[in-house]
Structure 1
Amino acid sequence: MSHTNNDSSDIKKAAEQANSQQIEKNLESGSPVDAPELLTEEEQTSFINDDLRTDK
């Protein structure tokens, strides 16, 4: 079952409700919100145990 008709109408609604002046203002401000979150050392650790890697 396809819902492409509903999807396109939702997209049209979003486009119609978008405030172009606010979007432009947000883009110009270059706010630091776009900066990536700093990860802890544990979060930066690779998921693959180096001892098990075969691609080295």
Structure 2
Amino acid sequence: MLGALDLAPSDIIPNYELWIGRRERWLMDLRWAEQFEHDRVPRAIEAPPLQPDA
């Protein structure tokens, strides 16, 4: 199956770039996103505690 994004959403902005072993030289840097040489150090996610169903 092939697909196209002829009318791609323009309000989606990446905020994290995954590390890959081989990055093409012609790809531009995402200056607004954090970039790392390798996988980033995991951060704790602040989330509200789960409430059991009553």
TM-score for the superposition, normalised by structure 2: 0.28
TM-score for the superposition, normalised by structure 1: 0.28
User: Looking at both structures, which has the greater relative contact order when contacts are Cα pairs under 8 Å and sequence separation is at least 6?
Assistant: 2
Look at both structures and tell me which one has the larger radius of gyration over its CA atoms. 1
Higher percent of residues as helix: 1
